[in-house]
């Protein structure tokens, strides 16, 4: 899992934004960037999950975005919004969601045990 962006602004009711993506997708993006001069601009990049906590409204918005190798802005493929009692509850939920969707499964060690 790669944390692409982390922003926290406590002057705006404790709002924060986290963007994460799959490590393998980031590796593919890196490979595609090296071929841009050979037409790699439209090569697929990683899917990005963006989690936004609105501290004033006490709601968490989660969206999934498809990217290309060189994209900066990208349209959401899906989005959901959920209310929480606190930023701590929202952050716990966001952490679990990001780990479940983006973390690579454990790799076996040399003995073959996970």
Give DSSP secondary structure letters for 22-48. -HHHHHHHHHHHTTGGGTGGG-EEEEE
Is residue 59 predicted with pLDDT exceeding 90? yes
Domain boundaries, the chain: 2-102
- pTM: predicted TM-score of the whole model, two decimal places: 0.69
pLDDT of residue 100: 87
The answer to whether the CB of 6 falls within 8 A of the CB of 95 is no
Is residue 104 predicted with pLDDT exceeding 70? no
Tokens of 100: 């479940």
């Amino acid at each position: 899992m790669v944390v692409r962006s982390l922003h926290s602004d406590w002057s705006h009711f404790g709002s924060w934004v986290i963007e994460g993506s799959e490590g393998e997708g980031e590796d593919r993006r890196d490979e595609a960037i090296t071929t841009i001069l050979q037409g790699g601009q439209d090569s697929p990049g990683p899917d990005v999950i963006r989690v936004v906590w609105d501290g004033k409204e006490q709601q968490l918005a989660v969206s999934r975005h498809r990217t290309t190798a060189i994209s900066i802005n990208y349209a959401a493929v899906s989005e959901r919004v959920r209310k929480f009692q606190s930023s701590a509850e929202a952050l716990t939920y966001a952490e679990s969601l990001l780990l479940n969707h983006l973390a690579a499964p454990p790799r076996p060690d040399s003995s073959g045990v996970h």
